[in-house]
Structure 1
């Protein structure tokens, strides 16, 4: 069953239930109000009778006095203490004595006589002889019965007549609700068929749930399109970057086949080139795998880390491996972070400083819990700084090839920074050097 049909049936049924409940309430309230009105009239009649009884002359005919207070088409009875009927007066001869028992705290009782409701009530009355008797007032309510029956059929007829407009209104409501969902489904099917990322039109000044769903879907399509574009770009760049070392390896392998067996110098040259390009290709593949894993849900091994100790480990490795001076300055501090991932992040920038500068590298720690890596190398042109974290982006392809760069290091650094909730700010001047500032996101980077 389609959603539109479900909404239509459910809203129609719910509306009918609400309407039936309301009509039932109206019917019962009217019935109660009608009986209460008749009781009030009997009560007023009884009060007048008791008031007149107290002023009645002893010589006055009691029957003539009581006859004036008989309810319309009803009866008036006087019952003594032994439940014996002293007087029974009625407007018609068709009404027999209707026994009734008032419930405790009840003012009147309703019984039925020949399908006609009859209201009855009683009051204590002091008889002229001084005896306490019971006054019973009984009145049939044929008009009330007719009105109640008429109201019942009117409400039933209204309920049946209302089914058609209720169904049409529910159908219209279901169409309004289901239309954007149908548009969403159609757009998704078109996107699947055409491999496109079409978005839904969003009306201005709309802030309801449908508009929220449309906005969310459009944002999802935009993100999917952006990720697909980046994936295509990544695949294209990876293919291009891998093509170069493979071409070099193939060329030197052919050279080795032609002349390597007869010329030892050529053989050594070819093997050295193949080994170098294989290492570059292996490093590139490892970095691509690392980038792919960085986009997955990564478990964090958080611990309070002494940043100065971490920097000293990297500095010692640089000094031992590359014989480069690394000076650590500033105020030591601790940071709740994943030490392994932070060390990898810092190594990328320190290793870049080592590659593109000959002078000592300076690492500073300041009280704002920032790590500042300063080198005095060739620097980066201002136009290239915004693109540094793009995958395979290179400021100078020639110098990157010379230093063995793959164009993925800074992209990995950006992914690691996002995982560690850190920000990276790079400030560089050509011929002067580069400054990298790493900060917590709640602190912000120096501008």
Structure 2
């Protein structure tokens, strides 16, 4: 069953139940009100009768008094209270057939249907002129109530049927508001699946309801998928291009060795060195590609508190030992709270880049306020201003020849950007050709990292 059919059926059924329940309540409330009103009027008649009887001095003319207060088409039956014969002292009625029924002592008045006509009866004590105590029962037929109740029932049924028309139209409008965007979303998704596209659905600018939020969320998802697809395509293309060069070199030198053998020691040495170099570069590139893939995973953030000074000293010392470079460090003796492993990898990438592209001293300065500020400054060749916005793109390299000489693959800064995003850190680069480059890293220390698992 389709959603619009379900919505229509449910809305019509629910509305019908509400209308029937409400109108049933109205019907019985009106019935109760009508009987109560008639009972009050009959009680007033009984009170007037009691007053009139008490004013009599003798039994003469008492029938005329009872006749004056006789209910329309009803009856008055007077019995002695202590009489066990069941015979009335006085019976007056305007019908040919005698009417009488037993009263319910727990109720103010008693209702009974006789020949399809509702009757009410109540009793009131009276003192007859001969000082005898009797009970006068007044019985009142209510034929108009039956007619009124029938008319009310017809009106309520008609109102229910008429009300279902606008309710059905309203449910159709409601279905259009709810189902149409869902159908549009489904159609767009099917189209995207069939055409392998990332088409988005139009949204209402002024609306902020759940349907608009669903459309906006879907559009954001499509945008992210399209961006991820584009990055994947770019990554595959760049990786293929980057791996093609070393593989071509290896293939060329292998063919050279195959043609000439190993008789020429100079050519053999040159070929083996080239193959070794390109193999080393390929290994480094593949390792960085795997590292980049890992940073794209939802890795868990492990927040720990540690001393900043020995933490950076350890990183600097490893680079000094490996590359014999001069690095000046100005680090305060404070404790910080962040993900130690990710920050270490991030700093190592930036310091290693400074080491690769400068031969002079490297300066590292840190300060802690609300956030951790770390600047890494080198005095190398610098970077052109037009290249700065593209530095974090995968496989982007300012000078490909220079990068090949330094062993760069163009992936390191992409990994650094992913790590910085995990830590919710900000990275900015300031550089000038011939004067060097300064990288500023701002890491939040108050729970700013993305806690993902």
1:442 Cα offset (Å) = 7.2
Question: Residue 300 of structure 1 aligns to a residue in which SS?
Answer: coil
1:151 counterpart residue number: 152
| Cα distance change of structure 1 residues 322 and 260 upon mapping to structure 2, 3 Å threshold | farther
| C-alpha distance in structure 2 between counterparts of 1:396 and 1:125, whole Å | 122
1:41 counterpart residue number: 41
| C-alpha distance in structure 2 between counterparts of 1:152 and 1:59, whole Å | 48
Return 239-248 or 72-81, whichever deviates more.
72-81
| C-alpha distance in structure 2 between counterparts of 1:430 and 1:122, whole Å | 115
1:110 Cα offset (Å) = 1.7
Q: Deviations over 1:223-261 (max 9, x none)?
A: 222221111111111111111111121122222223450
2:321 counterpart residue number: 320
Q: Does structure 1 residue 98 correspond to structure 2 residue 101?
A: yes
1:367 Cα offset (Å) = 2.6
Question: Aligned-residue CA RMSD in angstroms?
Answer: 2.4
Return 126-135 or 280-289, whichever deviates more.
126-135
Contact 1:120 1:139 in 2 (8 A): yes
Q: Deviations over 1:295-322 (max 9, x none)?
A: 2221223221222221111111011101
Q: Does structure 1 residue 5 correspond to structure 2 residue 8?
A: no
Q: How does 1:47-446 map to 2 (within 5 A)?
A: 47-58=47-58, 61-82=61-82, 84=86, 85-103=88-106, 106-160=107-161, 162-163=163-164, 166-259=167-260, 261-368=262-369, 369-441=372-444
Return 119-128 or 2-11, whichever deviates more.
119-128
TM (norm. structure 2) is 0.91
| Cα distance change of structure 1 residues 396 and 65 upon mapping to structure 2, 3 Å threshold | same
Count of residues in correspondence between the two structures: 443
2:450 counterpart residue number: none
| C-alpha distance in structure 1 between counterparts of 2:280 and 2:100, whole Å | 117
Question: Unaligned stretches of 5+ in structure 1?
Answer: none
Contact 2:57 2:129 in 1 (8 A): no
Q: Deviations over 1:32-55 (max 9, x none)?
A: 121122112112212322333343
1:87 Cα offset (Å) = 2.8
Return 301-310 or 4-13, whichever deviates more.
301-310
| C-alpha distance in structure 1 between counterparts of 2:29 and 2:153, whole Å | 12
1:219 Cα offset (Å) = 1.9
Question: Unaligned stretches of 5+ in structure 2?
Answer: 447-453
Contact 1:197 1:222 in 2 (8 A): yes
| C-alpha distance in structure 2 between counterparts of 1:181 and 1:28, whole Å | 44
Q: Deviations over 1:307-343 (max 9, x none)?
A: 2221111111011101112222132332322222211
| C-alpha distance in structure 2 between counterparts of 1:123 and 1:430, whole Å | 117
| C-alpha distance in structure 1 between counterparts of 2:363 and 2:421, whole Å | 24
| C-alpha distance in structure 2 between counterparts of 1:37 and 1:75, whole Å | 19
| C-alpha distance in structure 2 between counterparts of 1:130 and 1:275, whole Å | 138
